[in-house]
Chains A and B, each alone.
Chain A
């Protein structure tokens, strides 16, 4: 009789517990995202801009550095869709080529801020104590610097010269955005790690004699990085617009880089006589920023169980 009871109990226990239980945070978020048109629209736009940045020649056969002075300020027409600017550059070609700088700055600033933020956040939260206090106070100091003001100060202290290379110009903007942008990621990561750390599986790994590096790599990071991915995505849009702001002020990207921010800055003087000069780069910039922020938003909603 006892045997009977045992088998009955055992079958109930062996029943697969969950057809409806979420598989994992990521697959769950993916199932949610699949059905969101906003996700596909923003992803499509981002892909469009990324391809534009990688191979601009797919979209235009023109040369962005070819200025035909006698055609200066030609309004948009069937032969030159976006018109030409004062110096006779084809605005369509310049706008297409301008995507590269914005995407490069956005992507690399995001990668760098995430890298710095994750390292600082993980170390502070994992080791705790005095190390945590010191690192978080340093984070607070950087957090207190106003983003744009800090950028203006940095860029005007180290201005570009005539013979700066393209990568030096772009790299400098990436650097300043990263220096000012990492504290939010570090705080986020610290909070996330603090949530994961007390879990028993972390204790179990320590009990097995796992090294701190192993505990971080295989137990803490995989369970703590979701919020950072979401916020980084939203930040990417913000970095693109910050780059444009700095370039607009004449201290971000400068010659030889072709950038939407520079184009907007140049166009402002002629807003009455040649408004198309301003319209097209601004439109592309807004669309790119919008796409990244929209994607970040949709992903955040998908990861946040409260919004489901």
Chain B
């Protein structure tokens, strides 16, 4: 399996909760709690989940913007946590990130040329000084912006154009992996499509692998080869896009998918929609056993006591990874074709 480029092994990130005058640690918010997955060269792994489930923290852990409390990230087989400062600098060329909010991800005091050119300033051996401006213009052209706008400031662009600038900065160093942390959630639907199409185009041209973090199930399905579903800091289901969307075996995934609007009025009301009760439990004090048991309609005693592991379970057609003791397929939406 040498085609695996990025691998997370049992990643954990706990944030201490400090209270009182002495700021004693009284507990931990378990933002990411034991996530393992692998990303292959040139593929897109979608990560979905609701707000606060740890998706973005996972992205930051992969970038080593946050140090994991436990677990490892392997990039091309190398443990990122063990990389020295100079090795880390080299690694950063191969793994880059695109942020959610195009309004805060670009420095308002810098021109587009400076923003997209900063990677070359930091890694000054990539391109000699004289060629940088030309390369920046090529990048702008590649992401569909006018190369002549190189001296403009971010506020002179629209949200979609700003996100293109962010993408240009991300791909400037020719990374192998691009982590997209909700890259389209802050954009209008029409602009979302353009940015997603741009990402797909870049993947085809540059052979990038994406970790695509989002909460929009349809966008993730559109772009992803494989999909992971997160709930309360854990991956509950992981498989090929078809497997997860057509044959989900985890009740949480089934509930999520049943909530996706269907653009066919004749099917309205015929769908078997699952409405979950209650709220997401606090990540500071997650439920015992299976974290979903407090809201699951199929929960039994074993779910409270024993934590189900993410492992291959049959989904009716083949099998893919799911973390449910009673994993079984369930037809969520009657398909029209």
Contact = CB atoms under 8 A, between A and B. Distances in A.
Nearest to B115: A201
Contacts of B169: 204, 208
A24 B153 contact: yes
Contacts of A9: 190-191, 193-194
Contacts of A15: 158
Given A17-B156, A21-B155, A209-B122, A200 B101 contact: yes
Contacts of A61: none
A24 B190 CA distance: 28
B216 interface: no
A12 B160 CA distance: 11
Interface stretch (A71-79, A104-112, A214-222, A292-300): A214-222
Nearest to B110: A218
Contacts of A23: 153, 155
Interface residues of A, number: 31
Nearest to A199: B104
A206 interface: yes
Interface string B139-163: 0000000000000010111101100
Contacts of A14: 158, 161
B52 interface: no
Given A16-B156, A200-B101, A208 B191 contact: no
Contacts of A208: 92, 96, 118-119, 122-123, 169, 173
A103 B161 CA distance: 49
Contacts of B89: 209
B105 interface: yes
B206 interface: no
A209 B123 CA distance: 8
A13 B161 contact: yes
Contacts of B122: 205, 208-211, 214
Nearest to B119: A208
B106 A201 contact: yes
Nearest to B120: A208
Contacts of B193: 9
Interface in B92-116: 92-93, 96-97, 99-101, 104-110, 115
A18 B161 CA distance: 13
Contacts of A199: 104-105
A214 B114 CA distance: 13
Nearest to A210: B122
A223 B153 CA distance: 14
Contact of B65 (A203, A211, A214, A218): A203
Nearest to A201: B107
A10 interface: yes
Nearest to B146: A14
B274 to A, nearest CB: 34
Q: Which of B107, B108, B169 has the most CB of A within 10 A?
A: B107
A207 interface: yes
Nearest to A13: B160
B109 A223 contact: yes
A22 interface: yes
Given A9-B194, A201-B107, A22 B155 contact: yes
Contacts of B156: 16-18
A203 B190 CA distance: 28
Contact of A223 (B96, B97, B107, B190): B107
A203 B161 CA distance: 20
A210 B173 CA distance: 13
B88 interface: yes
Contacts of A12: 190
B310 interface: no
A24 B99 contact: no
Interface in A168-214: 199-201, 203-211, 214
Given A17-B157, A204-B99, A210 B107 contact: no
Q: Which of A21, A24, A203, A218 has the most CB of B within 10 A?
A: A203
Nearest to B191: A13
Nearest to A209: B92
Given A9-B190, A201-B104, A207 B153 contact: no
Nearest to A202: B107
A15 B156 CA distance: 10
B284 interface: no
A207 B96 contact: yes
For the complex of A and B, 10 pairs with smallest distance between CB atoms = A200-B105, A209-B92, A222-B109, A200-B99, A201-B107, A17-B158, A209-B89, A200-B104, A9-B190, A199-B104
5 contacts: A6-B194, A17-B158, A24-B153, A200-B105, A223-B109
Given A204-B169, A222-B107, 14 more contacts: A9-B191, A13-B160, A13-B161, A21-B155, A23-B153, A24-B109, A199-B105, A204-B97, A205-B118, A205-B122, A208-B119, A209-B122, A209-B123, A210-B118
